[in-house]
Structure 1
Amino acid sequence: MKRRNFLQKTALTGGALSMGGALTYAAIPNTSAEPHKFNLNYAPHLGMFEELAGKDPIDQINFMADQGFTAFEDNGMMKRDTALQTKMGETLAKRGMTMGVFVVDKGGNMANTLAAGKQEYIDIFLDGCNRAVETAKRCNAKWMTVVPGGYERNLPIGVQDAHVIEALRRGAEIFEPHGLVMVLEPLSDSPDLYLQNSDQTYMICKAVNSPSCKILYDIYHLQKTEGHIIRNMDLTWDEIAYIQIGDNPGRKEPTTGELNYKNIFKWISEKGYDGVLGMEHGNSKEGKAGEQAVIDAYKQVDDFL
């Protein structure tokens, strides 16, 4: 081969390799930057960063870790393929992330109300608890959300309380040997829901009297139903095992509503809380810019030291 032809061929090949390398790198998220160091363990969920990370659940978890998030939650984990549950758990372990809550499958928030005391409803709940144990093993989870259902309005409230407490005691018996914790979530979605306030949930946890039955304090829901967030968290603190986040109105990221999350997070940190804070809210803006706005909002409100 003549030197001139050799040099031309080398230049073309080198250019192609260079271009190919650039294209390949551009398709891979940049992980060279150091992840942000958050003070608390905020947990995003699937779909929150789908535009930036892609649709694959594992890619999304890795993206969260690359941004500095140290936890993850997935309400629908029980309905996912068992192989994906395992893979998600393995990815979380590899990235040093804590698995947050998933929802115990008992048929929906309003369905199969434990307040009714009906055996068929209790059986559905206990079956969900048993299946939740297996799911938790696959994805390295510790906490599972439980919503007792709606009111049984033809019964006195004290009788409803007793029915709920008895059912939850039986659920706790399933979780205790495995070191798992069901967290009861008071909700603001409907006046027909049995569990709505923090003091009511506190009373139930005290009555169940198990390390496997605690409070999930969802700040968004409880701002709507009772307010006085810091005061009421303080009153019920010894039974709170998990916290969720959402600003009000709108249920979007912190800084978009009326709650002073920087003060709330500062207070939570000063209480010594080292658990998970689930980001159970939507994004206030669409697209990649909206997803970046969520990340930026958490950096802002987490800067409380």
Structure 2
Amino acid sequence: MERRQFINNVALASVGASFLGGSLKAHAANAFVTAKNKFPLHFAPHDGMFKAHAGADILDQIQFMADQGFTAFEDNELKGRSIATQEAMAALLKKHNMTMGVFVAHKIYWSEPNLASGKEDYLKEFLADIKDSVAVAKRIGAKWMTVVPGHVDLRLSKDYQTANVVNALRKACEILEPHGLVMVLEPLNFRNHPGLFLTESPQAYQICKAVNSPSCKILFDIYHQQIQEGNLIPNIETCWDEIAYFQIGDNPGRNEPGTGEINYRNVFKYIHDRGFKGVLGMEHGNSMPDKAGEQAVINAYLTASNFD
């Protein structure tokens, strides 16, 4: 099928003939080209990472990612997109056999306690968000969604807070398990996000073991954990059976691999050699602007994933 006809079919079937308009025209001529690069892991760029090359339209950006050889995509802001856009994204990802990575599943409380507090209103809000996220995940073809338990409750012992968080996550798993969906808990570092309840991989590991569900796993963000605890490969090894997803960013700067102190070639090699088949989200900025900066990101991943 010609690519223009494919897009027209998507528009007519699910989003209306006027929705896509001129979308994807920039790459229409390259619809069936062989991907330029071969990556040994499922690296997932995000919206805006290749905007200088592909333009602002999210569909054009996904097409560019596919043309460059990326086999996954993640979108923290997915829930805020229209249903029509989500459906069009899903069709394009499926066309290129790209895996949909994480989106943020719920409202995150950055400065006040919610799940750690044990308060019923916060719990109800969280579970309602999880229910809404099930529909989004099915629409886009996603398996994983990010969960951040929120701020600490300074009025409660850490043990009571942990019990409250585990209780909330167990209830969320009751919603997710029938659909085969997975929430991934993301520990965040003290520097970028001071005061949060979940900060370290051993803590996330303990909580996942307590929840004891295939729908509650760890999102190991290598950038955050380099700052928070270091000892990256040993901690990945110890947490391995509870890790379902990785995210990437070098430190300092939170840009592409090779711009900071992390030996990403060794980290990627370890993850690859363990047989990881999931997604590694490129949740970082570009160290340089414009097309040159975007090409530098692609080159960085080719270099860091060259294990020879």
TM-score scaled by length of structure 2: 0.88
Partners of 2:51 and 2:280 lie apart in 1 by 20
Q: Which letter maps to 1:39? A: P
Q: Which letter maps to 2:280? A: L
Q: Which runs of 5+ in 1 are unaligned?
A: 1-23
Which residue number corresponds to residue 216 of structure 2? 213
* Pair 1:259 & 2:267 matched: no
Contact 1:243 1:276 in 2 (8 A): yes
Q: Which of 285, 289, 293 does residue 290 from structure 1 map onto?
A: 293
Contact 1:101 1:144 in 2 (8 A): yes
* Pair 1:66 & 2:62 matched: no
Distance apart, 1:86 and its partner CA: 1.0
Q: Which letter maps to 1:84? A: T
**Aligned to 1:186, what secondary structure does the other structure show?**
coil
Question: 1:211-260 deviations in whole A, cap 9, x for unaligned?
Answer: 00000000000000000000000011100000000000000000000001
The structure-2 alpha-carbon separation of the partners of 1:290 and 1:71, relative to structure 1 and needing over 3 Å to count, comes to same
**Aligned to 1:103, what secondary structure does the other structure show?**
coil
Distance apart, 1:197 and its partner CA: 0.3
Which residue number corresponds to residue 92 of structure 1? 93
Partners of 1:81 and 1:26 lie apart in 2 by 23
Distance apart, 1:194 and its partner CA: 0.2
The structure-2 alpha-carbon separation of the partners of 1:101 and 1:239, relative to structure 1 and needing over 3 Å to count, comes to same
Contact 2:248 2:282 in 1 (8 A): yes
Distance apart, 1:29 and its partner CA: 5.8
Partners of 2:96 and 2:113 lie apart in 1 by 38
Question: 1:17-72 deviations in whole A, cap 9, x for unaligned?
Answer: xxxxxxx9999569645431110000000100000011111110010000000000
Partners of 2:26 and 2:240 lie apart in 1 by 47
May I ask how many residue pairs the two structures share in their alignment? Answer: 282
Which residue number corresponds to residue 275 of structure 2? 272
Contact 1:29 1:53 in 2 (8 A): no
Partners of 1:139 and 1:109 lie apart in 2 by 27
Which residue number corresponds to residue 200 of structure 2? 197
Partners of 2:139 and 2:110 lie apart in 1 by 24
Contact 1:106 1:112 in 2 (8 A): no
The structure-2 alpha-carbon separation of the partners of 1:128 and 1:32, relative to structure 1 and needing over 3 Å to count, comes to same
Q: Which letter maps to 1:141? A: A
Which residue number corresponds to residue 236 of structure 2? 233
Q: Which runs of 5+ in 2 are unaligned?
A: 1-24
Question: 1:113-161 deviations in whole A, cap 9, x for unaligned?
Answer: 2000000100110011000000001100000000000000110111000
Distance apart, 1:192 and its partner CA: 0.7
**Aligned to 2:152, what secondary structure does the other structure show?**
coil
Question: 1:245-283 deviations in whole A, cap 9, x for unaligned?
Answer: 000000000000000100100000111101000000000
The structure-2 alpha-carbon separation of the partners of 1:110 and 1:170, relative to structure 1 and needing over 3 Å to count, comes to farther
Which residue number corresponds to residue 144 of structure 2? 143
User: Counterparts in 2 of 1:1-305, with a 5 A limit?
Assistant: 32=33, 34-110=35-111, 113-188=114-189, 189-305=192-308
The structure-2 alpha-carbon separation of the partners of 1:183 and 1:109, relative to structure 1 and needing over 3 Å to count, comes to farther
Contact 1:253 1:297 in 2 (8 A): yes
Contact 2:151 2:195 in 1 (8 A): yes
Distance apart, 1:106 and its partner CA: 2.0
| Rg (Cα) greater in structure | 1
Contact 2:27 2:60 in 1 (8 A): no
TM-score scaled by length of structure 1: 0.89
Distance apart, 1:190 and its partner CA: 2.6
Partners of 2:96 and 2:239 lie apart in 1 by 33
Partners of 2:139 and 2:146 lie apart in 1 by 17
Superposed CA RMSD in Å reads: 1.7
Percent identity reads 56
Partners of 1:41 and 1:26 lie apart in 2 by 22
Partners of 1:178 and 1:211 lie apart in 2 by 11
Partners of 1:25 and 1:156 lie apart in 2 by 56
Which residue number corresponds to residue 20 of structure 2? none
